[in-house]
Chains A and B, each alone.
Chain A
Amino acid sequence: MSTLLEVSGVSKSFDGFKAINNLSFQIGEPEMRAVIGPNGAGKTTFMDIVTGKTKPDEGTVLFGEKSQSLLKLSESQIAQVGIGRKFQRPTVFEDQSVSDNLMMALKKDRSPWAVLRFRPAREDHAAVARLADEIGLTDQLTRKAGELSHGQKQWLEIGMLLAQDPRLLLVDEPAAGMTPAEREHTTDILVEAAKTRAVVVVEHDMEFVRRLNCKVTVLHEGSVLAEGSLDHVTANERVIEVYLGR
């Protein structure tokens, strides 16, 4: 397992508030990692920095074997080198069908000219069908994404991420607002994905994290408080302090 993403010494403040404070983080490939932390710990800002939405004040973010710096790339270029992101609120293109959503996400040439001439071949339809099967939306392919239930939209978004075939997947609270059965399905999809790539899951729900059965990183006030197995970190005095507010 080699290091895929290496974040070191990253800081970012908004109007004097230090959202990220000298944060360092590594993840290998393949690996599943859960990131937990109380509100305002900097989980979302961390994802924003990795995906290029926010530029940090200092520090480095390196990706891949060649240790390419992500700080100079735009959001779309970062997505193209192989980082996919799922937002907290499901953001699918509601006006378009499930298959259009997946087709758009498929790993293909993204330049306007190539996309203009693109007409889906049989293998592209097959890839979309396979993804739909994986996320359990086979029967919904022709429906508009806006008609799907909340849980189905979350899966569609995960499906779109898988379609991008990223090496690193950043997933923000995938289980929020899901029924227990839907949570189980979501866990299965993520565990399956983590067999071949790096997956970072940000989650509040300890039960969900336990089911992922992976290494856990605890963030607090913009830096790493503890790292290790879930049992290890939950036994940590400081983590208990932060979470229970003693």
Chain B
Amino acid sequence: MTDTPSLFPKYAGGLGAGPQSRPFIARHPSVLIFIACLALFTLCVTILSEGFGIGVVSTSFVKTLGKTLCLCMVALAMDLVWGYCGILSLGHMAFFGIGGYAIGMWLMYARTEIIVVQSLAAAPLPPTAGEISQGIATQIFGVVGASEFPPIWAFAHSLPLQLAAIVIVPGLLALVFGWLAFRSRVTGVYLSILTQAMTLALSLYLFQNDSGLRGNNGLSGLQNLPGLGDVPQSTVSIWFLWASALALGLAYLLCAWIVSGKFGSVIRAIRDDEARVRFLGYSVEAYKLTIFTLTAVIAGIAGALYYPQAGIINPAEIAPIASIYLAVWVAIGGRGRLYGAVIGAAFVSLVSTWFTGGQAPDINLGFYTISWVDWWTVLLGFSFVVVTLFAPKGIGGLIDLVPSPNRHGADLGPDAGSLRESEADR
């Protein structure tokens, strides 16, 4: 019986059990590198900030960086659904926006409540709950000519319930939409069009004044945290930076864990040949629905962290073009690798801020002046075409050019008899 453990001695210690028995981080060094970079970045910004450090980085730029981290997070979701599972969803920014609206409702309600209570405190009689509610409703909805809370605001007074809505509403919408689309076997460009229709319908609905979410005014003043009016924005901005960095780090770990195992194998297989996966016995629809819903939830959380830093959300944020930009970021960064999505979102959105913020010098051609505020989208579109045609791996593909020192005994060449790494080193 002594030879039982080595039933397959040829494989047990080598190809089979070896690489898998090592810890997750050792098998995926890029995850550790990413988390370390993110932590270092957060630390540096904190030290350089006005709120907690030496004040080199302005508060508005800290907010820009914090928002960028949220965009990286939604790009991560996009990479999971598109780069890994092959579903080119052009509607994920709708889930992002819903997350923003969900937290925005509470922020706006709670802050207005404080203001209304303060103003009514001067009255000779203490205000009733009804008067307070009426006052809040008038304050919030006066701009759209209403003074009643629409049913959609039923839970706006409760932070826990609105936090739950950040996860539940995008998740539920994705679940229902995905179930309808995937069970009808809508794939490829038709699915993309369907998701565009979804985000367009949502944004058009929200543009209406009677949608209950203040129409095209959207929700504003979200940067002011209720009850923390004394805390300066320089401090709040750092809090949100930390929260965004933490959320991005956790989302990255979750995504890396998902794609590293057999689940990752299956969704990549669905991307490459979904009919074959069906004949292997996997329910392709169930997998697509899982990924679609999960990424919608990630997008919702990212949105809930983004909009308090942006300060305002309106239906234009959910417009179809936003989701197309998201796909462009992931394509430029390199789809099918998680850090690619993050690099793409960070790089393109920061460069975009620079160009559209009027900081980029205009180019005077004599007969025409290229103003980057207008021409940036052209440049972005052009880079998208160039990347798609000539560098489909995107910016993240540059990592492949660095020789990896950690090949774990893989063959050095395509031939079966070629040297192993350890032999070649000698």
Interface set of A (CB-CB < 8 Å, partner B): 51, 53, 74-77, 79-80, 84-85, 87, 91, 93-96, 99-100, 103-105, 110-112, 115-116, 118-120, 122, 125-126, 128-130, 138-143, 147, 160, 164
Evaluate contact between A116 and B272: CB separation under 8 angstroms: no
Evaluate contact between B416 and A128: CB separation under 8 angstroms: no
**B261 → chain A closest CB, angstroms:** 6
Find the A residue at minimum CB distance from B287: A112
Evaluate contact between B262 and A103: CB separation under 8 angstroms: yes
| Chain B hits for A129, CB < 8 A | 8, 10-11, 15-16
| Chain A hits for B414, CB < 8 A | 143, 147
| Chain B hits for A77, CB < 8 A | 283
- B261, B280, B283 — which one has the most chain A CB atoms within 10 A of its CB? B280
**B116 → chain A closest CB, angstroms:** 47
> With contacts A87-B276, A138-B10, A147-B414 known, what are 6 further pairs, Cβ within 8 A?
A75-B279, A76-B281, A85-B279, A112-B263, A112-B283, A112-B287
Give how many B residues have a beta carbon under 8 Å from the other chain's beta carbons: 35
| Chain A hits for B265, CB < 8 A | 93, 96, 100, 103-104
Evaluate contact between A96 and B263: CB separation under 8 angstroms: no
Q: What DSSP secondary structure best describes chain B's contact surface?
A: helix
| Chain B hits for A96, CB < 8 A | 265, 268-269
Q: How far is the CA of A95 from the CA of B268 in the complex (A)?
A: 8
Evaluate contact between A164 and B281: CB separation under 8 angstroms: yes
CB within 8 A of B278: which of A74, A116, A120, A140? A74
Asked if B282 is an interface residue, CB under 8 A from chain A, the answer is: yes
CB within 8 A of A74: which of B269, B283, B290? B283
Q: How far is the CA of A84 from the CA of B411 in the complex (A)?
A: 32
Asked if B7 is an interface residue, CB under 8 A from chain A, the answer is: yes
CB within 8 A of A93: which of B7, B262, B272, B286? B272
Query: When each residue 243-275 of chain B gets 1 if its CB lies under 8 Å from chain A and 0 otherwise, what string results?
Result: 000000000000000100111011011001101
Asked if B398 is an interface residue, CB under 8 A from chain A, the answer is: no
Q: How far is the CA of A77 from the CA of B283 in the complex (A)?
A: 8
Asked if B176 is an interface residue, CB under 8 A from chain A, the answer is: no
Task: Give the residues from 1 to 29 in chain B that come closer than 8 angstroms, CB to CB, to chain A.
Answer: 7-8, 10-12, 15-17, 20
Q: How far is the CA of A187 from the CA of B276 in the complex (A)?
A: 23
Task: Knowing A100-B265, A115-B266 are in contact, say whether A126-B416 is a contact too (CB < 8 A).
Answer: no
| Chain A hits for B286, CB < 8 A | 111-112
| Chain A hits for B172, CB < 8 A | none
Evaluate contact between B263 and A115: CB separation under 8 angstroms: yes
**A83 → chain B closest CB, angstroms:** 9
Q: How far is the CA of A147 from the CA of B286 in the complex (A)?
A: 30
| Chain A hits for B268, CB < 8 A | 93, 95-96
| Chain B hits for A112, CB < 8 A | 263, 283, 286-287, 290
Q: How far is the CA of A84 from the CA of B280 in the complex (A)?
A: 7
Evaluate contact between B262 and A164: CB separation under 8 angstroms: no
CB within 8 A of A104: which of B17, B269, B411? B269
Closest 4 CB pairs between A and B?
A125-B16, A79-B281, A129-B11, A75-B278
30 A-B pairs with C-beta separation under 8 A: A74-B283, A77-B283, A79-B278, A80-B281, A87-B276, A91-B273, A91-B276, A93-B265, A93-B273, A93-B276, A96-B268, A99-B15, A104-B280, A112-B263, A115-B261, A115-B266, A116-B261, A116-B263, A119-B20, A125-B11, A125-B17, A126-B8, A126-B12, A126-B16, A140-B416, A141-B16, A142-B15, A142-B411, A147-B414, A164-B281
